[in-house]
A and B are shown apart, each in its own frame.
Chain A
């Protein structure tokens, strides 16, 4: 479980996170949603330590990540996997080498075991046969799947995904969503996904945190969204006429 307590982050005079308090639960697909510029990515970067918060706490099973020493943070990060918006695969390495990279760095397995583990991860994301290709030779959706395989190679406890569906078509987005959800349940990870994608919100959101202008505006599950009375949330979720009509048809609400 990851607890965020009173988290503030400023860049110069601009306060981006304004006292976030929330909990991301174990074994669940936790979503952070919000408009562009609301602070979602900044929140995630604070969670993984790419940014230092101005104040506040990030507790991983009670351990305060912010107050940890550099060495403790390095050890803690070995329990984390992250999928970036751009996939962030290493261009000079093949697909297999990308997935093997964390194993090469941190596992005590021999080469054959590392290859076997990497091949299992690639198979898990339905990418068997692409192991010899380079990131520049595969599609955006495949790159995201390689990033997922790389992120789960070391069996992390916590999986972070920064807009995993950006730039993907709706069908591929669903594949990625299903993959993340099933992996979360299979490995009992705490998965946190930053997303704008309403299909993800309604489809796999087991714990949804809505960020509005740097503070937590709402938290709940996807089934509660339809009947929510929070205007900022409903304005964001049901922004298009089509979604408004769908909501009206289901709930009778405008």
Chain B
């Protein structure tokens, strides 16, 4: 039963978020590349600098921190409202009466599911950001693709990829646990479920921002 729930949560929280992650990452990758090219270009700068900065921004901050802030909105509100609705409609009481440990049955698969799927989302996001950057080069003709490729390959530090994944694991735990707590402790009716959902998003976003500072310092 646990594995069934675990796979279901991975699909619901992770697989169903791939679309939004890819869409946002594509456009952010493209926009960063354009901004870098337009605003940093000078005779004193190498031609590959736009590609290099796009890669670093996507890898170090966007694909882990900013994407998790976006997921805090999508996944966090989903978790809090689902568990909150189960609480106010007595579905959690029904689980307890059956002798099921409701917290373990409902929350644990969500936390483990999101922790499992998050590294894949980070990798997909980084890759899609780079595809977006290539889009500006091939379709928008902002810069020659060769210059972009040179920048993307310049001085690559594999640790940055791991750093991004490690950070995202912390953020995934924050999103799923804060949202689950908010939903699980709801009392009242639909208004309170809505409030719990908002609280979950706000609290997890703030915690992600604070922990991002410490994690970046710690891992750099």
B-contacting residues of A (Cβ < 8 Å)? 48-50, 74-75, 77-78, 80-82, 84-86, 88-91, 101-102, 104-106, 160
Kindly state the separation between the CA atoms of A106 and B1 in the bound complex, as whole angstroms. Answer: 10
B91 near A50 (CB under 8 angstroms)? Answer: no
Task: Determine whether B158 belongs to the interface, using a CB cutoff of 8 Å to chain A.
Answer: no
Q: Which of A77, A78, A88 has the most CB of B within 10 A?
A: A88
What's the least CB distance linking B84 to chain A, in Å? Answer: 13
Chain B residue at smallest Cβ distance from A81 = B97
B97 near A80 (CB under 8 angstroms)? Answer: yes
Task: Determine whether B185 belongs to the interface, using a CB cutoff of 8 Å to chain A.
Answer: no
Q: A90 is contacted by which of B91, B93, B96, B97 (Cβ under 8 Å)?
A: B91
The contact string, 1 if C-beta is below 8 Å from chain A, for chain B 74-114, is 00000000000110011101101111110000000000000
On chain B, the residues within 8 Å of A102 by CB distance are 98
Q: Do most interface residues of chain A lie in helix, strand or loop, or is the interface mixed? A: mixed
> With A82-B94, A104-B1, A105-B1 given, is the CB distance from A88 to B99 under 8 Å?
no
Q: A77 is contacted by which of B89, B90, B99 (Cβ under 8 Å)?
A: B99
A77 near B1 (CB under 8 angstroms)? Answer: no
How many of chain B's residues have a CB under 8 angstroms from any CB in A? 14
A48 near B97 (CB under 8 angstroms)? Answer: yes
Kindly state the separation between the CA atoms of A102 and B94 in the bound complex, as whole angstroms. Answer: 10
Q: Within residues 167 to 206 of chain B, which ones have a CB less than 8 A from any CB in chain A?
A: none
On chain B, the residues within 8 Å of A80 by CB distance are 97
Q: A50 is contacted by which of B1, B85, B93 (Cβ under 8 Å)?
A: B93
On chain A, the residues within 8 Å of B93 by CB distance are 50, 82, 84, 88
On chain A, the residues within 8 Å of B98 by CB distance are 77-78, 101-102, 105-106
Q: A85 is contacted by which of B85, B90, B91, B99 (Cβ under 8 Å)?
A: B90
Kindly state the separation between the CA atoms of A82 and B100 in the bound complex, as whole angstroms. Answer: 13
B99 near A78 (CB under 8 angstroms)? Answer: yes
> With A85-B90, A90-B91 given, is the CB distance from A75 to B99 under 8 Å?
yes
Kindly state the separation between the CA atoms of A48 and B85 in the bound complex, as whole angstroms. Answer: 22
B89 near A88 (CB under 8 angstroms)? Answer: yes
What's the least CB distance linking A225 to chain B, in Å? Answer: 30
A-B contact pairs, 27 of them (CB 8 A): A48-B97, A49-B96, A50-B93, A50-B97, A77-B96, A77-B97, A77-B99, A78-B99, A82-B94, A82-B97, A84-B90, A84-B94, A86-B89, A86-B90, A88-B89, A88-B90, A88-B94, A89-B91, A91-B85, A101-B98, A102-B98, A104-B1, A105-B1, A105-B98, A105-B99, A106-B98, A160-B97
On chain B, the residues within 8 Å of A81 by CB distance are 97
